[in-house]
Structure 1
Amino acid sequence: MLFILLKLLTGFISGFLFIKFFPVSIPMGISDMVVIFVLEPAGFVLGMTFFLIAFIANAEIIRSIIEWTAWLLKNIKSLNHMNALFGPILSLLLIGAFFVLSALSPWEAFALFCFSVIYGIISLDFKKLNFAGDWFKGD
């Protein structure tokens, strides 16, 4: 649990630093973007580094939430109170982090959210979940 909260904090801080270092002004054309990236390469490189760290950390949390939900649906009868609170609390914390980031810069936070969700879903191990096969067993 502590490791997952550390990932959440890492994702939030890296997302914040991505928004601060990435040189974007709205509205921006392609030519303006290329000029800014050529004239300020350090901001671009730092911004992309923090973007990479943030979206991988957030994707790991999204993957954990999906795995927890699949486990919960499979083991609904043997549920205790601590396991029941893990997923909703983690989901609310992640949504809150993206909400704060979207208050700073909505487009950059939206890009970070989209990349995190897509990578989180792609990184799922469906053999480990064994969720799809349970529907056809007829339990």
Structure 2
Amino acid sequence: MWVRLLCVMVGFLCGYLLIHWMPPLTPFDFTLFITELIFNPLRTFLALTCFFIGFLANAVVIRTVIEGIVLCLLGKRVRWMEWFVCCGGIATFYWLFQWERKLAVLFFIFSFIYGMISMDLDRSRQYHRNL
């Protein structure tokens, strides 16, 4: 459970830093956007690193929520506290959507797709709980 809680916190922090460090997208001007990315290489690198780490952390959270739902429907054992922590982690996307919709949608889509790809419903494997 503590690993999932850490994933929730890391995912939210990385999403916030991504939104904070990327150039504004509201009045989108492609030349201004590319110029900001090129002339601020440290901010660009840090934002892209936060994007990568954050979507991996959020993918673990999304995978846990969906696995919990499917296992509950199949009548198998579910770790409820871990599942509730991850449901709260999904709710953190609300705040990211409030700050910057386009980046938050991109962040959520990457996390959701990778979380679905990495889902494993066979509990007999030993490496299942590893990140």
TM bin, normalised by shorter chain, reads: 0.7 to 0.9
What letter is aligned with 1:87?
W
SS at match of 1:94: helix
Distance 1:50 1:98 in 2: 15
**Shift of residue 102, structure 1, vs aligned partner:** 1.4
Segments of 5+ residues of structure 2 without an aligned counterpart are 125-131
What letter is aligned with 2:102?
W
Alignment check: 8 A CA contact 1:15 1:54 kept? yes
Write out per-residue CA displacement over residues 78-113 of structure 1, whole angstroms, 9 at most, x where no aligned residue.
78xxx456535532x123210111111121111111
SS at match of 1:23: coil
1:58 aligns with 2:58: yes
**Whose Rg is larger?**
1
Matching residue within 86, 89, 95 for 1:90: 86
Cross-structure match for 1:32: 32
SS at match of 1:95: helix
- Identity within the alignment, %: 30
Distance 2:26 2:51 in 1: 19
TM-score, normalisation: structure 1? 0.77
What letter is aligned with 1:52?
F
1:99 aligns with 2:94: yes
What letter is aligned with 2:53?
I
1:70 aligns with 2:70: yes
Cross-structure match for 1:4: 4
Cross-structure match for 1:108: 103
Cross-structure match for 1:136: none
Cross-structure match for 2:18: 18
Distance 2:118 2:51 in 1: 18
Distance 1:31 1:16 in 2: 24
TM-score, normalisation: structure 2? 0.81
Write out per-residue CA displacement over residues 50-95 of structure 1, whole angstroms, 9 at most, x where no aligned residue.
011111000011111111222212226x78xxx456535532x123
What letter is aligned with 2:3?
F
